[in-house]
């Protein structure tokens, strides 16, 4: 009965409202945002590479997030609001075609997500680099430049040709549409041997205009940790990305192709790890990354199957070696760009 009355009210509203208002109301009803699967606190452990630490990338973004959630009771609400706005932006236009797939616990052959149209063009991100080492000149301008080149390539290339035969990921690989420009490099000679992941490097050398600039700190983190990022919704004073110097830019070695920055900027742009930092039932909120039960390390031979489907181990948001990860998906593109649309958490960075 209530439904009938509600329906009548909608009809009445449509009849008495002006054309624009009734259209808005219809859109609002059609784009009802489902937040029922939202979560933030994660099981950050559970890497398939844990039995051999040499095979597992060490990103501490989720560990840092879990700590911040404990310390700051208001953070959950802020992240909920960012997510709500993201899902509203994606709406019906970014809904997947195909069946099953990357949603909670699903698994299937192929899910294709449409790119949500926007008028943002290529979004340019101005970047400040803070180099903090006993000898800050040990990180050269050439190394900085090589990192900028990798970011610019990874956020625009689809790299479809690198996909192994047998995958159906070619229609998912995306040009995310971001460019990065170096706004300034700052070097600080600091004798501190390692900085950990407690944001102390940011307290010592605060970010510059984090509302409009991506701040990256390059320092020795310690503990074999490659980097960590702060998700949108966190405090401005700690906003940005921290990278270990040996993983910054093109330095050689399995994590030396500059992809740690790509992965961490992915978090900074609100991407979760593709396994959702949990088991099959936990999701990364991206429909065209198949469900996965944990991270993949090293350089897996396709297919690496979990949750009944092949994992997208070549996604920048897995834990594989730098040269074995080379794509974002259309669904990830939509999530990232949602932040830069009006109402988005990083709207001020869009230059609009």
Residue 302 to residue 95: CA distance in whole angstroms: 27
Residues 88 and 23: their CA atoms lie apart, in Å, by 16
Q: Is the CB of 128 or the CB of 228 nearer to Zn ion? A: 228
The CB-of-63 to Zn ion minimum distance in angstroms stands at 10
Query: Is the CB of 10 or the CB of 299 nearer to Zn ion?
Result: 299
Find the shortest distance in angstroms from Cβ 97 to Zn ion.
28
- Give the C-alpha separation, 15 to 64, whole Å: 52
Report the C-alpha gap between 241 and 155 in whole angstroms.
16
By DSSP bridging, strand 241-244 and strand 227-229 are antiparallel
Written as one string, the DSSP assignment of 179-214 is EEEEEEEEEEE---S--TTSSHHHHHS--SSTTTSE
- 239-245-250-255 Cα dihedral, nearest 10 degrees: -90
Closest CA to 262 of 328, 213, 215: 328
Q: Rule CB under 5 A: which residues touch Zn ion?
A: 59, 61
Tell me whether strands 178-189 and 112-113 are parallel, antiparallel or unpaired: unpaired
Q: How far is CA 60 from CA 144, 190, 222, 273, 294, in A?
A: 22, 23, 11, 11, 15
Provide, rounded to whole angstroms, the least separation between the CB of residue 61 and Zn ion.
Answer: 5
SS3 content of the chain, % helix, strand, coil (to 5): 35, 15, 50
Q: How far is the CB of 267 from Zn ion (least distance, A)?
A: 6
* Smallest separation, CB 195 to Zn ion (Å): 18
Counting Cα atoms < 13 Å in the Cβ hemisphere of 31 gives: 17
**Residue nearer to Zn ion on the CB measure, 61 or 282:** 61
55 is catalytic: no
The nearest distance, CB 66 to Zn ion, in angstroms, is 13
Provide the 8-state DSSP code for 310: E
Strand order in the sheet with 178-189: 178-189, 123-133, 214-219, 241-244, 227-229
Write down the residue that tokens 């809904």 correspond to: 95
Closest residue to bound Zn ion by CB:
59
The active-site residue out of 44, 55, 58, 264 is 264
Residues noted as catalytic: 264
């Amino acid at each position: 009965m209530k439904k009938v009355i509600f329906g009548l009210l909608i009809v009445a509203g449509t009849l008495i409202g002006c054309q624009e208002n009734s259209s808005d109301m219809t859109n609002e009803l059609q784009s009802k945002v489902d937040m029922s699967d939202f979560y933030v606190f994660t099981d950050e452990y559970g890497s398939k590479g844990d039995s051999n630490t040499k095979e597992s990338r060490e990103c501490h973004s989720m560990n840092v997030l879990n700590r911040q959630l404990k310390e700051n009771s208001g953070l959950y609400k802020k992240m909920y609001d960012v997510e709500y706005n993201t899902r509203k932006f994606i709406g019906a236009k970014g809904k997947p075609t195909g069946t099953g797939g990357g949603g909670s616990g699903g698994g299937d052959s192929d899910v294709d997500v449409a790119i949500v149209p926007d008028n943002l063009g290529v979004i340019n991100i101005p970047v400040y680099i803070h180099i903090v080492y006993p000898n800050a000149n040990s990180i050269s301008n050439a190394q900085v430049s090589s990192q900028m080149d990798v970011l610019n390539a990874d956020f625009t290339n689809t790299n479809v040709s690198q996909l192994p035969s047998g995958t159906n990921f070619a229609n998912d690989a995306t040009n995310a549409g971001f460019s990065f420009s170096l706004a300034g490099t700052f070097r600080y000679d600091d004798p501190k041997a390692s900085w950990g992941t407690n944001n102390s490097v940011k307290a010592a050398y605060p970010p510059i205009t984090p509302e409009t600039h991506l701040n990256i700190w390059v320092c020795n983190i310690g503990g074999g940790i490659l980097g960590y990022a702060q998700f949108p919704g966190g405090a401005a004073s700690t906003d940005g990305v921290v990278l270990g110097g040996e993983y910054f830019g093109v330095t050689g070695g399995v994590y030396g192709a500059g992809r740690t920055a790509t992965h961490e900027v992915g978090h900074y742009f609100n991407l979760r790890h593709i396994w959702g930092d949990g088991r099959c039932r936990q999701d990364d909120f991206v429909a065209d990354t198949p469900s996965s039960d944990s991270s993949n390390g090293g350089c897996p031979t396709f297919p690496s199957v979990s949750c009944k489907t092949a994992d997208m181990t070549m996604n920048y948001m897995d834990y594989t070696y730098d040269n074995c990860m080379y794509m974002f998906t259309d669904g990830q593109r939509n999530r990232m760009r949602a932040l830069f649309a009006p109402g988005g958490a990083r709207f001020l960075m869009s230059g609009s």
